[in-house]
C-alpha cells in the first residue's frame, strides 16, 4: 500500500480527518485540486458542540487567539427569532467567530505538524476497489498517476467527485426562490450605539443575527479586525450580470423598507461581493460504499441558517477518524466502521430538518408572520428554548442507549485529579477515567490503546470515553454488573488487540 487513507479534499473537514488519523498513528494523504488554499470568504465561524470539540483537541486557543476555555453565548437566533439562552441553566450554544480561511489555515498547520501529507494541485480522476484496498487514479502537476490505499474518503464538497464515482445517490430538494446577496459594506458610524445598529424608521439591529421583515432577510456583520459586511435575502428574480455594490444597496433598502446608507469600507482585507440564487437540502443515500466513505458536504448539504455546516462536518471527521484508524490497525470490533453511517447520518437528517424549518420561518407572507408570532410564544418557555438550543448545537446527540444516562452522550467536563478532562482528550485516544473512591475500575484489563486515569473526584463516577468524546460506558458504583458492563463495552468498541492491565 502507498498509504493507509487517501482523503479527497483539503477543506476543514478533510484536514480535520487527517489530523485525527495522524493522532491514531495512521498515514493519510490529502489531495486537493486547487493549487493554493482558497481566500474566498465562506463560513464566518463555528456554532455548537464543535467549539468544545476543538478545545478538546487543543485548537480552540489557536483559533480564537484568546486564553481559556470557550464559554457559551448569551443569545442566538432560530429562524431569525431571538433565542433567549439566558433562560437556561445549562446553555449548550458556543460560538467562535473566525473566518473559514483562518480555520483552514490552522487545521492545515495542525495536520502538517502531526505528519500528514497534503498534495495540492492533484485531482481525483477515478478509482477501483477490491477486498484489500482502493486504487486511486489522479492528475497532478507532473501528469497522471495512481495511488494504492486501504480507504478513500471523499471530503470534496457538495459536488463531490468521490460520491459521483462511487455511484451514491444524493437525493433532496433544490429551491431557486431565494436570492442571497453579501458584500463588504460599512454603515454610518453615528448610527451604531451600544453595539446596535439603530436605523431611523426601522429600529435597532443587533450584530450578526438575522432580521426578518415582510420583504426579506437582513444581517449586519461588523467583524472585529475584518472588513464589515451586509447580507440580504429576498424572494425575487436576480438581475443579469455580475453583482454590483449598488445592487446590494438597493436590496438592503427594499428589505428594511427604509434607506440605509452603505459605503465601501476602507482598510485591508478580503473584499466580497456575491449573489447566490437558491439552495439545496440533500443527504447522501449512504455514507459508505465498500472502502469509500463520504464526509462533510460530500455527504450532506443544507441551508446555512444557524451556521450548522462546520459543526456537522467537523464532528463527522472526529467520529470517522478513530473508527477508520481502528480498522486500518486491526483493532476494530466487528461492524465498527459501519457505525460511522448509523451514527452520523441521522444527525445529518436532523440538521437538514431544522434548517428547512428555519427557512420556512423566514419566508414572506402573512401566514408566516402569524406562524412566527405563535412560535415566538413557544420560545418564551425555557423548556422549549432548551430543546431548540440542544438541536442547533448538537447537544441532543445520543449514539445508542445504555442504562446510565450518560452512555452515548458527550462526556461531561470533569476534573481528573489536577488535570481537566479536556486536556486528557488532546491525545485523541480512548480513555478510561475512574473517579470512584475505590478506583476498582482502573484496574480492569483494557486494550493497550486505551489510556487509564484514576483519581478520586468530587463526582464519584467512572467513564469509558471514545476518542470522539462520547461515553461508551459509565457507572457510579462498583459491582459485578458494572464491571461486566465495562467488559462488554470494551469488547464492543475496542477489540481484538491484546489486553494489558497497565494504568497510565
Instruction: Tell me the three cell numbers of residue 108.
Output: 492545515
Pairing mode of beta strands 143-154, 172-184: unpaired
pLDDT at residue 504 above 70?
no
Closest among 110, 324, 75 to 207, alpha carbons compared: 75
pLDDT at residue 70 above 50?
yes
> Quick one: pLDDT at residue 41?
67
pLDDT at residue 499 above 70?
no
Interhelix angle 339-361/309-329, rounded to 10 degrees, is 180
The answer to whether residues 475 and 486 touch, using CB atoms and an 8 Å cutoff, is yes
- 292-306, 421-435, 483-497, range with the lowest pLDDT: 483-497
Reported as a single tens digit per residue, the pLDDT across 19-34 is 999 999 999 999 999 9
Q: Mean pLDDT, to the nearest integer, of 242-246?
A: 94
pLDDT at residue 43 above 80?
no
Residue with more model confidence, 237 or 66:
66
Cβ count near 250 (within 10 Å): 14
pLDDT at residue 387 above 90?
yes
The answer to whether residues 422 and 55 touch, using CB atoms and an 8 Å cutoff, is yes
CA distance 41 to 419: 38
pLDDT at residue 503 above 50?
no
pLDDT at residue 391 above 70?
yes
Long-range contacts of 357-361 (CB under 8 A, 24+ apart): 357/79, 358/78, 358/79, 358/80, 358/303, 358/305, 358/306, 359/79, 359/175, 359/178, 359/279, 359/303, 359/305, 360/79, 361/78, 361/79, 361/80, 361/81, 361/212
Q: Which string of DSSP letters, residue by residue, matches 386-411?
A: HHHHHHHHTTT---S--SSTTTTSBP
> Quick one: pLDDT at residue 501?
37
Reported as a single tens digit per residue, the pLDDT across 179-215 is 999 999 999 999 999 999 999 999 999 999 899 999 9
Q: Mean pLDDT, to the nearest integer, of 305-319?
A: 93
Per DSSP, 265 falls in state P
Reported as a single tens digit per residue, the pLDDT across 439-475 is 999 999 999 999 999 998 878 899 999 999 999 999 9
Beta strands in 164-247, from DSSP E residues, in sequence order:
172-184, 192-193, 196-199, 203-205, 211-213, 216-221, 229-234
pLDDT at residue 496 above 60?
no
pLDDT at residue 236 above 90?
no
> Quick one: pLDDT at residue 267?
85
Q: What is the mean pLDDT of the chain?
A: 93
The answer to whether residues 5 and 328 touch, using CB atoms and an 8 Å cutoff, is yes
Q: Which residues pair with 137 in a beta bridge?
A: 126, 146
**Helix or strand or coil: residue 170?**
coil
pLDDT at residue 500 above 70?
no
Q: Is 329 left (phi over 0), alpha (psi -120 to 50) or beta?
A: alpha
When pLDDT is cut at 50, 70 and 90, the band that residue 402 belongs to is confident
When pLDDT is cut at 50, 70 and 90, the band that residue 44 belongs to is confident
pLDDT at residue 345 above 80?
yes
Q: What percentage of the chain has pLDDT greater than the value 70? A: 98
**Helix or strand or coil: residue 111?**
helix
> Quick one: pLDDT at residue 377?
96
> Quick one: pLDDT at residue 167?
98
Closest among 158, 165, 157 to 10, alpha carbons compared: 157
Q: Residue written as cell 429600529?
A: 203
289 phi and psi angles, rounded to 5 deg: -135, 95
Amino acid at each position: 500500500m502507498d498509504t493507509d487513507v487517501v482523503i479527497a479534499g483539503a477543506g476543514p473537514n478533510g484536514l480535520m480527518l487527517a489530523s485525527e488519523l495522524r493522532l491514531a498513528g495512521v498515514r493519510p494523504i490529502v489531495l486537493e485540486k486547487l493549487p493554493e488554499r482558497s481566500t474566498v470568504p465562506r463560513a464566518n465561524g463555528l456554532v455548537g458542540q464543535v467549539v468544545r470539540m476543538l478545545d478538546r483537541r487543543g485548537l480552540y486557543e489557536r483559533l480564537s487567539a484568546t486564553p481559556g476555555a470557550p464559554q457559551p453565548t448569551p443569545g442566538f437566533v432560530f429562524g431569525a427569532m431571538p433565542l433567549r439562552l439566558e433562560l437556561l441553566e445549562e446553555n449548550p450554544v458556543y460560538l467562535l467567530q473566525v473566518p473559514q480561511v483562518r480555520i483552514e489555515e490552522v487545521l492545515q498547520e495542525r495536520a502538517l505538524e502531526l505528519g500528514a501529507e497534503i498534495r495540492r494541485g492533484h485531482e481525483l480522476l477515478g478509482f477501483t476497489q477490491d477486498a484489500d484496498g482502493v486504487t486511486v487514479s489522479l492528475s497532478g502537476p507532473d501528469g497522471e498517476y495512481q495511488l494504492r490505499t486501504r480507504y478513500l474518503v471523499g471530503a470534496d464538497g457538495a459536488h463531490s467527485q468521490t460520491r459521483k464515482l462511487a455511484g451514491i445517490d444524493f437525493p433532496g430538494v433544490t429551491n431557486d426562490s431565494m436570492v442571497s446577496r453579501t458584500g463588504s459594506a460599512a454603515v454610518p458610524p453615528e448610527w451604531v450605539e451600544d453595539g446596535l445598529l439603530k436605523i431611523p424608521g426601522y429600529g435597532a439591529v443587533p450584530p450578526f443575527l438575522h432580521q426578518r421583515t415582510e420583504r426579506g432577510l437582513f444581517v449586519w456583520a461588523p467583524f472585529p479586525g475584518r472588513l464589515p459586511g451586509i447580507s440580504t435575502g429576498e424572494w425575487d428574480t436576480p438581475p443579469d450580470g455580475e453583482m454590483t455594490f449598488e445592487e446590494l444597496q438597493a436590496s438592503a433598502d427594499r428589505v428594511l423598507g427604509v434607506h440605509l446608507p452603505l459605503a465601501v469600507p476602507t482598510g485591508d482585507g478580503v473584499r466580497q461581493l456575491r449573489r447566490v440564487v437558491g439552495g439545496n437540502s440533500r443527504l447522501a443515500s449512504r455514507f459508505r460504499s465498500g472502502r469509500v466513505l463520504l464526509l462533510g458536504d460530500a455527504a450532506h448539504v443544507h441551508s446555512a441558517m444557524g451556521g450548522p455546516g462546520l459543526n456537522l462536518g467537523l464532528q463527522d471527521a472526529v467520529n470517522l477518524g478513530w473508527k477508520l484508524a481502528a480498522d486500518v490497525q486491526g483493532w476494530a470490533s466487528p461492524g465498527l466502521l459501519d457505525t460511522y453511517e448509523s451514527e452520523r447520518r441521522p444527525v445529518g437528517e436532523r440538521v437538514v430538518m431544522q434548517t428547512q424549518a428555519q427557512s420556512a420561518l423566514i419566508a414572506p407572507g402573512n401566514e408566516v408572520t402569524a406562524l412566527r408570532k405563535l412560535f415566538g410564544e413557544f420560545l418564551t418557555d425555557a423548556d422549549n428554548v432548551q430543546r431548540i438550543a440542544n438541536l442547533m448545537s448538537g447537544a441532543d446527540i445520543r449514539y445508542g442507549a445504555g442504562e446510565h444516562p450518560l452512555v452515548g452522550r458527550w462526556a461531561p467536563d470533569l476534573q481528573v485529579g489536577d488535570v481537566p478532562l479536556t486536556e486528557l482528550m488532546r491525545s485523541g485516544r480512548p480513555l478510561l477515567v475512574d473517579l470512584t473512591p475505590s478506583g476498582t475500575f482502573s484496574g480492569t484489563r483494557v486494550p493497550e490503546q486505551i489510556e487509564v486515569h484514576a483519581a478520586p473526584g468530587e463526582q464519584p463516577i467512572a467513564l469509558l470515553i471514545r476518542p470522539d468524546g462520547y461515553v461508551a460506558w459509565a457507572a457510579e458504583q462498583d459491582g459485578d454488573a458494572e464491571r461486566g458492563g465495562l467488559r462488554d463495552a470494551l469488547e464492543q468498541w475496542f477489540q481484538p488487540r491484546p489486553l494489558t492491565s497497565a494504568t497510565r
